[in-house]
């Protein structure tokens, strides 16, 4: 299922959340991409970036889900910046070890098949919280704040960028509407 990532000649990163709108690394190419057997969801309690230990927020993660697809953005790292990018991503994404670093096969909208670095949830980690009802997610997201800002801003930016790209995500659209009401 998951392969240990290596730095290939051409490093691609799969963005399904904040990496879409804030990659923090030099990008040479962006393509809409599809990962099969993965679901984007607010299934990780955030105790650093969008919440705290005392009041965790929620952040998106890829949760393994056979038969489900997740559309996002494949980001090709500018040649020569691969090692620096990998270190930046590890510092950002592996802050609490709730994500696992994996290489996933992706299909780009232009038909190319690539392998990309992705951060997927560790379902055995104590920050994993799959299957929280959407209404409860909205309540948490509306009120949580962490080191990178308000949880709701993370939701709004992700949902807005997905919509701008023409990527439908009914759960995020519903959550955005509900959180704005709260």
Q: What confidence category does residue 21 fall into, taking pLDDT thresholds of 50, 70 and 90?
A: very high
- For the cut 80, the answer to whether the pLDDT of residue 7 exceeds it is no
- Quick check: is 82 catalytic? no
DSSP the chain: --B-----SS-EEEESSHHHH---S-EEEEEEEEEEEEEEEEEEEESSSSS-SSS-EEEEEEEEEEEEEEEEEEEEEPTT-HHHHHHHHHHHHTSSS-EEEEEEEEEETTS-EEEEEEEEE-TTSTTB-TT--HHHHHHHHHH-EETTEEHHHHHHHHHHHHHHTT---HHHHHHHHHHHH-
**Domains annotated on the chain, with CATH:** 12-181 (3.10.490.10)
pTM (two decimals): 0.92
pLDDT at 3: 54
Of residues 132 and 5, more confidently modeled: 132
pLDDT at 2: 57
For residues 8-29, average pLDDT: 93
Write the pLDDT tens digit of every residue in 42-94: 999 999 999 999 999 999 999 999 999 999 999 999 999 999 999 999 999 99
Write the pLDDT tens digit of every residue in 83-138: 999 999 999 999 889 999 999 999 999 999 999 999 999 999 999 999 999 999 99
- For the cut 50, the answer to whether the pLDDT of residue 160 exceeds it is yes
Catalytic entry in 83, 93, 101, 136: 93
């Amino acid at each position: 299922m998951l392969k240990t990532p290596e730095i290939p000649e051409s490093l691609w990163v799969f963005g399904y959340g904040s990496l879409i709108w804030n990659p923090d690394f030099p990008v040479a190419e962006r393509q809409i991409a599809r990962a099969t057997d993965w679901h984007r969801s607010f299934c990780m309690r955030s105790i650093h970036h969008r919440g705290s230990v005392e009041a965790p927020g929620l952040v998106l993660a890829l949760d393994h889900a056979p038969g489900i697809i997740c559309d996002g953005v494949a980001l090709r790292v500018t040649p020569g910046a691969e090692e620096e990018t990998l270190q930046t991503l590890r510092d950002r994404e592996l802050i609490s070890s709730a994500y696992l670093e994996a290489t996933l096969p992706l299909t780009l909208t232009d038909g190319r098949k690539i392998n990309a670095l992705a951060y997927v949830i560790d379902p055995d980690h104590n920050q994993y919280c799959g299957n929280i009802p959407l209404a409860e997610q909205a309540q948490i997201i509306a009120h949580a704040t962490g080191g990178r800002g308000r949880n709701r801003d993370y939701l709004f930016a992700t949902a807005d960028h997905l919509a701008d790209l023409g990527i439908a995500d009914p759960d995020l659209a519903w959550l955005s509407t509900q959180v704005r009401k709260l």
